[in-house]
Structure 1
Amino acid sequence: MIAKKYFLSGGILLFLIVITLLMAGRSSVFEINLGGWQRTDGTPAEDNSKQNNAASDLKDAVSTVDWQTYSNFYAGYTLRYPPAWKVRDSLNGVAGEDIRVVGPGGAAFVRILWTADPSIRGSEEVRASVLTYRQSLAEGKDGTKLSDFESEIIGDYSVKFTASGEFILDDVPYRFEERGEMITGGIMLIKRGAAIPSAFNAMRPIIQTIINSFKPIELQ
């Protein structure tokens, strides 16, 4: 039990250290400002202020009064979701670095992926890893059809990115939007929202509200 306690505390502490580093650079893995981003070809991205304003209104449009809370003590975060949605985490939150919150009938879901690769130490390696991830999407990983990918370099240690497009899961087509960030030390966090194309616009407010509920667990 003592070993388990220190293991869980160590995972949370690592995550909080990551958050502290990001905040020091005026960056956050939880809130991504899309305005002024740079595309991977180096050209300025479009001003997405209207999209940002629309996203900020999602919280008011979706009631979260009866929502439940999922806690991942290894990665050190909590997430809220509607009562009809189900969390798929085979490790029960202990080491669930890759979880899905699935809507009724599987028509929509949110995926939270948290990984660490200590071999990625420098800023150039971070940038290269993000480009490799982009390339994997562009080449059709998991049946992906990449529509857009934008990235922003934050100081000497971090790259934030957004992506959108379509992919295939269990022979079912989904449309997706995701935001992510990688920092030196190989820490990567990806938050993806997806839904079947016919339901995407209707489900997007709920998906984004779930993603925006992502919060770090504070050490007691």
Structure 2
Amino acid sequence: MCGRIAQYRYIENYCDVLGLDGKWLSSIENKPLARYNVAPTTLVALLHQAEDGLHADLVRWGWRPHWAKDRAPPVNARVEKVAHSPFFRAIWPHRAICPIDGWFEWVDEGGPKKQPYFIRRKDGVPCLCASIGQLPDADEGHGENDGFVIITADAQGGMVDIHDRRPVVLTPELAREWLDPVTPKERAEQMVLHQGEPAEAFEWFKVDRAVGNAKNQNSYLIEPAKTL
């Protein structure tokens, strides 16, 4: 996963996919997010559980522990290691869902520049990506060290030709279980290891190379490229 996503719907659209029936709290403005080309280190809509219920907040994409100041904050965490990694130990218990409309990958096809692809669910439903992070407090609000990472797994099937890693995308039922604080950490680990959506649930296609500039936020960036 190369580190670029799309998140353009209303926050309530993502919450509706979870089947929450309006039972959530949001600090995000009630308008389309309209972000078609989201880069790391920027604020991303995230769903997470707090004592007073489910929250939707904008949280920085990327996190590192306080003792790792010598490296850039990673935006992804490998599912094979995340549950037992000293690097992510502090945030492994703090589960979240990053709802996205798809993500971008770049493929070397022999030309002068790599070709970008957009990957999304075939059914058009948002992807509910398993994530963990240092999350906003319901009482104190955002902290300067807040951030999150998306959990990734090995790619499968034809998706391997696009990139060798992919986000762990959960069904709505599993996403609700992932967010539930009563779900044991051992069960959460098994979910992301073995129950992510298969490659057959997704489609991918070439898109305009203008997506390489993170300042571009036009909707055509997620449409099949007309000229290559």
TM-score by length of 1: 0.26
Q: Which has a greater percent of helix? A: 1
Query: Could you state the TM-score of these two structures normalised by the residue count of structure 2?
Result: 0.25
